[in-house]
Amino acid sequence: MSALAHGMRMDAALPADVPAMENSQALMQADGLCRLFGPEQGCQDISFTLYPGEVLGLVGESGSGKSTLLSTLSGRLPPDRGRVRYRDGADWVDLYATGEGRRRALLRTQWGFVEQNPRDGLRMPVSAGANIGERLMAQGARHYGRLRQSALDWLRHVEIDISRIDDTPNAFSGGMQQRLQIARNLVSGPRLVFMDEPTGGLDVSVQARILDLLRKLVRELDLSVILVTHDLAVARLLADRLMVMRRSRIVEAGLTDQILDDPQHPYTQLLVSSILRV
Amino acid sequence: MDAILEVSGLAKKFVLHQPRPTVLDVLENVNFEISPGECLVLSGPSGAGKSTLLRLLYGNYLASSGSIRVRHGQGWLELVGAEPRRVLAARRHTLGYVSQFLRVIPRVTALDIVMEPALLRGYAKKAAQAKAEALLSRLDIPEKLWSLAPGAFSGGEQQRVNIARSFMVFWPVLLLDEPTASLDDKNRQIVLELIEEAKAAGSAIVGIFHDAHALDAVASRLLHMKNEGDSPHAP
């Protein structure tokens, strides 16, 4: 039933309203993932499917296994059991059964990883422009003028003054470094981005700016994101759905606002009711 | 007209684990259906579960049992037990929800908030902006506020921004939780007109209205709800 058919005014310029294809194929699948360092330390029994354009939040307290799971999903930490599969075009790639070369190529071209500490994700001794251009060069781009143009475009995208293109990130504030790290990851047009507490180390005012930026970029670029955060307000703002982790296991999963407004598991209820409201 | 939303045997109990295990039976065996152009008003005392029912219909609360079927695109979607991405797709295209409260996001302007539902459906930015501006004007939000984040707006202004957002696009099913509460007469009248226009355009509306004048103006049918559940009890 379209708006036009009902003669709503002013809608003449708007397209007829057809629900978008929501039957798209999965992008990533985890089956029975397990990586333990000790009893209930790490992650276990993790299975889920991620679809294109979805933002999945992993929430829970420190030590619940969120970061271990993120490492395992992103090709950085082989699981003890289980597997991670990623769809690359028409092929499904088994992340840890495939060769190191393929895994690295994925990481460089189709994936991004935004670290909590921008110093871990940036190359500090080289210029902002070179930080952004690096992934494009790794993909074979060599034309200096075009690399520089992409760097300028992305600095603008993440609201960094373009006159800073030749400065090294050492001279940047924490918030600027984090925005540069985001640009460096997104310049190559990844389909899936992993984020580990992307606003974790920042002042609240700086945090708001990064969150606003991430929200916009995720939508504009139709990115899939797996986001680790212990901050439920960040999760509400960015994530479509949540998995709540406790002692290495997922205790509850579902639509973000449903988990936060009608939590079912005793641990989730405790987590949600412990937030201080201002 | 054929139904667009069918609710049958719907129940909701809240099982609270903190501070001690408690069960609240809020809804039991709710049944109704509604067709395009109808406005079903939920009536009953405070605590009867009216808002809870609206939140169940939106997928914000998890049903304990029963079925909520909504016509979405070419088919029917069972919302109870649906995957998150299906619920989100239904919210993008089929299910609209209006409460009195605006969720303010730092740095996002009033205009961007109002345009968002149209942009999510892929409308051209120019057309979306024109419509958003028309709605904000109609709801008496001064133009100098449009490019500001509503964090600092008055309660009434925030509420009207939220209403403008909700009427940005056509919703096959529109859920209204006291949209006119605490508005002055003039603005309440505008909201009632917007509701009438949505009905005329074919929205099926399920709403809660405490104000008798608003209720008389928009209701086509009433669904009486009363406290049927037991008092809170241990599981």
Q: How far is A144 from chain B (nearest CA, A)?
A: 34
Answer whether A252 touches B (CB < 8 Å). no
Interface touch A261/B122, C-beta < 8 Å? no
B36: which chain A residues are within 8 Å (Cβ-Cβ)?
1
Q: Give the model's confidence band at A12: pLDDT under 50 very low, under 70 low, under 90 confident, else very high.
A: very low
pLDDT of residue B229: 56
Inter-residue long-range contacts of B158-163, CB under 8 Å, 24+ positions, other chains counted: B158/B101, B158/B102, B158/B104, B159/B100, B159/B101, B159/B102, B159/B183, B160/B187, B161/B102, B161/B110, B161/B113, B161/B114, B161/B136, B162/B98, B162/B99, B162/B100, B162/B101, B162/B102, B163/B98, B163/B139, B163/B191, B163/B194
Per-residue pLDDT tens over the stretch B27-50: 999 999 999 999 999 999 888 999
Q: Which residue from A20, A255, A273 is facing B87, i.e. has the nearest CB? A: A255
Q: How far apart are CA A174 and CA A172, in angstroms?
A: 7
Count of residues making up chain A: 278
Among B155, B62, B151, CA closest to B100? B155
Picking from B60, B169, B197, the nearest residue to A262 by CB comes out as B60
Q: Which of A69, A110, A82 is nearest to A224 (CA)?
A: A110
Cα B39 to Cα A225: distance, rounded to the nearest angstrom: 39
Nearest CA in chain B to A211: B106
Q: What is the pLDDT of residue A203?
A: 84
Decide: helix, strand or coil at residue A237: helix
Between CA B120 and CA A59, with CA B79 as vertex, the angle to 5 degrees is 70
- Three-state DSSP class for residue A174: helix
Per-residue confidence (pLDDT) for residue A207, from 0 to 100:
87
Contacts with A20 from chain B: Cβ below 8 Å: 89, 92-93, 122
Segment A139-150 shows an average pLDDT of: 90
Contacts B200 to A, Cβ<8 Å: 6
Q: How far lies B209's CA from each of A173, A209, B79, B99, B225, in Å? A: 50, 38, 25, 11, 13
Residues from chain B that touch A8, judged by Cβ atoms under 8 A, are 170, 197, 201
ipTM of the complex in this document: 0.93
List the 141-180 stretch of B: residues with Cβ below 8 A of A: 169-170, 172
> Is the model's pLDDT at A19 over the cut of 90?
no
Residue ranges, chain B, pLDDT below 70: 1, 228-231
The confidence band for A44, taking pLDDT boundaries of 50, 70 and 90, is very high
The dihedral formed by the CA atoms of A14, A15, A18 and A24, expressed in degrees to the nearest 10:
-110
pLDDT tens-digit map of A213-235: 898 888 888 899 999 999 999 99
Q: Is B124 on the interface with A (CB under 8 A)?
A: yes
Q: B136 versus A210: which is more confidently predicted?
A: B136
Chain B CB within 8 Å of residue A220 CB: no
Q: How far apart are CA A227 and CA A73, in angstroms?
A: 11
β-sheet with B65-72: strand ranges across: B22-34, B5-16, B65-72, B75-78
How many CB atoms within 10 Å of residue B65? 12
pTM of the model: 0.91
The span from the CA of A242 to the CA of A204, in Å, is 23
Please state, in angstroms and rounded to a whole number, the distance separating the CA atoms of residues B110 and A138.
41
Amino acid symbol at B1? M
Q: In this complex, is the C-beta atom of A257 within 8 Å of any C-beta atom belonging to chain B? A: yes
Mutating which of A255, A264, A275 best tests the B interface, going by the most B Cβ atoms within 10 A? A255
* B230 or A48, greater pLDDT: A48
Q: What pLDDT does A202 receive?
A: 84
- Looking at CA atoms only, how far is residue B51 from chain A in angstroms? 13
B61 touches chain A (CB under 8 A): yes
Counting runs of H as helices and runs of E as strands, what totals does chain B give? 7, 9
Q: Rounded mean pLDDT of chain B?
A: 92
Q: What is the pLDDT of residue A114?
A: 94
Decide if A261 and B55 are in contact by the 8 Å CB cutoff. Answer: yes
Cα separation of A192 and B57, whole Å?
32
pLDDT tens track for A162-198: 999 999 999 999 999 999 999 999 998 999 999 999 9
CA pair distance B106, A212, nearest whole angstrom: 8
- Residue in A closest to B58 by C-alpha: A258
Q: Which helix (H) or strand (E) holds A56?
A: strand A55-59
- B52: CB partners within 8 A, 6+ apart: B12, B26, B27, B61
**A61-115 tens-digit pLDDT:** 889 999 999 999 999 999 999 999 999 988 999 999 998 898 888 888 899 999 9
Q: Starting at the edge strand that comes first in sequence, how are the strands of the sheet with A81-88 ordered? A: A41-50, A28-38, A81-88, A91-94
Q: With CB atoms and an 8 Å threshold, state whether B14 touches A8.
A: no
B107 interfaces chain A, CB cutoff of 8 Å: yes
A16 touches chain B (CB under 8 A): no
Rounded to a whole number, what is the distance in Å from the CA of B209 to chain A's nearest CA? 22
